[in-house]
Amino acid sequence: MADAVGIEGWGYLLVVGLAVPSGAGYSAREIGRQALPPRPLFLFSVIGQQVLLLGLAVWVAGRESIAIPWAVTRPSGAAVMAVLLTVGLIAAGRPMWRAAVRRRDRIAYFTMPRTRGERVLWVGVSLAAGIGEEVAYRCVLFALLQRVLGSPLSAAIVAAVVFGAAHLVQGGRASAILTGVALVFQAFVWQTGGLAAAIAVHATYDVVAGLAYGWYGARLGYPVEGVPLAGGGVPG
């Protein structure tokens, strides 16, 4: 049956729908107890994770006969919508970025490139996340959930919740916000008929967010090496 989910699809739902959010929740708890890794090493690891996620999504899409709509098929107004969405996201994010740096959130360290090399790596992270996450969540996960749930709206809601949970490492509030953002992006993909515009908005936003974090970090005196453990305790 064309609308059935095969073993590869169920495996994808388990990995992306359960394992990835669980890992994000575990990482969120560990950030407050572990020494921070060198930022370049972390950024390299994120690029690798996004490449693996993209590869898995593309492979499962092939096995499950899911077409990946790369190109925009309904271009009318797509560019205008993309610009408005990008500007709106940046305007909404700007005060939150500044506030996170001011209160010395440890998680901000990971999204705060401070050197030229780190900024180059951050652009790589942004591109990898823009492509990988849009294909993985807005396309493949959504398609599989639609087969299981039988409803595009239900699939979009569950996929958005999973996307938000996959970012629990950024905190509960950020996860909730990203759940709403994911719903907006799902609607944007539907409206434009493809992933290209959503990928462009996603990557652009991530680039701007990272550069802004770095700028605020330098301006507001956020430690280059990150905020130490509370009380100067020994990581464990």
Q: In a 10 Å sphere around its CB, with 0-12 CB exposed, 13-18 middle and 19+ buried, how is residue 2 labelled?
A: exposed
Give the model's pLDDT for residue 30: 84
37: left (phi over 0), alpha (psi -120 to 50) or beta: beta
- Give residue limits of the domains in the chain: 7-225
Q: Quick one: tokens of 81?
A: 């919508």
Give the model's pLDDT for residue 230: 63
**Predicted confidence (pLDDT) per residue in 47-86, tens digit:** 999 999 999 999 999 999 999 999 999 888 999 999 999 9
Give the model's pLDDT for residue 1: 41
Per-residue pLDDT band for 34 (boundaries 50, 70, 90) equals confident
147: left (phi over 0), alpha (psi -120 to 50) or beta: alpha
**Predicted confidence (pLDDT) per residue in 129-175, tens digit:** 999 999 999 999 999 999 999 999 999 999 999 999 999 999 899 99
